[in-house]
Chains A and B, each alone.
Chain A
Amino acid sequence: MHLDFGIIAGALPFLWKGFQYTVQLTAISAIGGLFFGTLLALARLSSNKWLSMAAAGYVNLMRSIPLVLVIFWFFFLMPVILQSLTGAERPVQIGAERTAIITFIMFEAAYFCEIMRAGIQSIPRGQVNSAYALGLTYGQAMRLVILPQAFRNMIPVLLTQTIILFQDTSLVYVISATDFVGAASKIAQRDGRLVEMYLFVAVVYFVICYTLSYLVKRLQKKIAVIR
């Protein structure tokens, strides 16, 4: 068969736009997911039974159904939820791209929660006790003593999860958002050039993810030595 990689050059500006959205989605979801995931982890470890049960239920639910189904769920539910929040006449449409951001924050929160929970639990009990003995409140103990150490210990795992997230964002394709894969597939179908386009996409993802996971591995070694 005849391969013509020239068609990619012409499509680069559009692909770049899609790629920027992919990076943006990854970054926002990672930061948002980490924020809510940490809150969820604190809730799961809370001594309040109801709070910890609710958090555990949310996390287990998110982790037991496919991401594709989660994306469909949010794509269907967001307009209805926004409608009831704003009291609008009709369901509020915010578009696939913005729905995807909210979906991924909520979905990743469940995964980051488990990482942060492990991180918090890896801190010796004595640290909490000494923080309280110094007169710190719960919030201060968490913010100043426990969480900084938990973050530090978990940095390699958090980064690895972010690389997985970077790959998973490609699934926004199912609600026709124009991320990197979405852009490539639109061009591929317009020009009838699926082979070149998908090979190009695969190579780009491979190079980026391989490099990043290599860097994470090196960082891990470095941190291991310091500790």
Chain B
Amino acid sequence: MTTYLLNWGVFFEELPGGGEEYWQLILYGVGWTLAVSACAWVIALIVGSIIGTIRTTTNPWLVRFGNGWVELFRNVPLLVQMFLWYFVIPEFIPPLKGWIVRAEPVHAQFLSAVLCLGLFTSARIAEQVRAGIQSLPRGQRAAGMALGLTQPQVYRYVLLPMGFRIIIPPLTSETMNLIKNSSVALTIGLAELTFRARELGEYTFNFFEAFTAATLIYIVIAMTANRVMARIEKNVAVPGYIAGGGGK
């Protein structure tokens, strides 16, 4: 009976090519995971806020556009969206296609992954921003208007500051989803954490050690993101309005 032999030292063994050790491979993977997640998060937050906000305006065309945006990105699997960004969309934009052919593969992979994850997550954030704004008492908007503020001013000074505070907890879980979803980028060849863990397993057959390392790193990243968001939530809490304090 063949048994599986654990070898935790595998991370400090050299790659077949020499020079580097396996732990460095994993570290590069972590770097790409964080880079993709961070860039996508910025896009998701900006686009998601805009789309979420226009869905609460009184302009029916803006509302329709916002709803369409959310439905579009929510009803196609992330994997398929990844393929669309990487394989399909460049075919319709010749200059982009030309750049991809000449550029390093990793640049095209990174760009596709960031756009895909950013817009995919933007639809989810838009839904939360909309819910956050709509959960505010109707009197807030009316009071802003009564003070003589224009609609943009009402959003800028009254609705958005409160709405964003309300949605910090769901935004936290969406941030963690984004970090987890970044692993789908391995399907277009981006060497992020899960990709590197599998690669390590394939080189050395130490799959168990490799996947354990990746699992632990994902847990650490998720917990860190959770702490950071909890800190933000605490710092921006409005006294007497939303139960302040981190942790759920």
Does B147 interact with chain A (Cβ within 8 Å)? no
With a CB–CB cut-off of 8 A, which chain B residues contact A209? 74-76
With a CB–CB cut-off of 8 A, which chain A residues contact B198? 72
Does A135 interact with chain B (Cβ within 8 Å)? no
With a CB–CB cut-off of 8 A, which chain B residues contact A202? 76, 80-81, 84
Q: Does A66 lie within 8 Å of B180, measured CB to CB?
A: yes
Does A181 interact with chain B (Cβ within 8 Å)? yes
- Given known A-B contacts A65-B180, A80-B4, A89-B1, A181 and B77 have beta carbons under 8 A apart: yes
Q: Does B71 lie within 8 Å of A1, measured CB to CB?
A: no
B66-89 CB contact bits vs A (8 Å, 1 = yes)? 000001101111111101100110
Interface of A, secondary structure class, is: helix
Does B171 interact with chain A (Cβ within 8 Å)? no
With a CB–CB cut-off of 8 A, which chain A residues contact B92? 1
- Interface size counted on chain A using CB atoms at 8 A: 36
Q: Does A198 lie within 8 Å of B184, measured CB to CB?
A: no
With a CB–CB cut-off of 8 A, which chain B residues contact A174? 186-187
Q: Does A64 lie within 8 Å of B176, measured CB to CB?
A: yes
Does B32 interact with chain A (Cβ within 8 Å)? no
With a CB–CB cut-off of 8 A, which chain A residues contact B88? 194-195, 198-199
Q: Does A210 lie within 8 Å of B78, measured CB to CB?
A: no
Does B155 interact with chain A (Cβ within 8 Å)? no
With a CB–CB cut-off of 8 A, which chain B residues contact A14? none
Cα–Cα, bound, A87→B2 (Å): 11
- Given known A-B contacts A168-B77, A171-B184, A194-B88, A68 and B194 have beta carbons under 8 A apart: yes
Cα–Cα, bound, A194→B83 (Å): 9
A173 contact from B4, B79, B87, Cβ within 8 A = B79
Nearest chain-A residue to B72 (Cβ)?
A: A206
Highest count of chain A CB atoms <10 Å: which of B79, B184, B187: B79
Cα–Cα, bound, A206→B77 (Å): 9
Task: From B100-108, B136-144, B208-216, B233-241, give the one contacting chain A.
Answer: B208-216
Does A213 interact with chain B (Cβ within 8 Å)? yes
- Given known A-B contacts A65-B180, A72-B194, A210-B71, A1 and B77 have beta carbons under 8 A apart: no
B91 contact from A76, A185, A195, A201, Cβ within 8 A = A195
Q: Does B84 lie within 8 Å of A69, measured CB to CB?
A: no
Question: Apart from A61-B219, A69-B214, A202-B84, what 8 extra A-B contacts exist at CB < 8 Å?
Answer: A1-B92, A72-B207, A91-B2, A170-B77, A171-B79, A198-B87, A199-B84, A199-B88
Complex A-B, nearest 6 residue pairs according to Cβ-Cβ distance, in ascending order: A66-B183, A209-B75, A167-B77, A66-B180, A170-B77, A68-B183
15 contacts between A and B (CB under 8 A): A1-B91, A66-B218, A68-B186, A87-B1, A173-B187, A174-B187, A181-B77, A194-B87, A194-B88, A195-B87, A199-B84, A206-B72, A206-B75, A206-B76, A209-B74
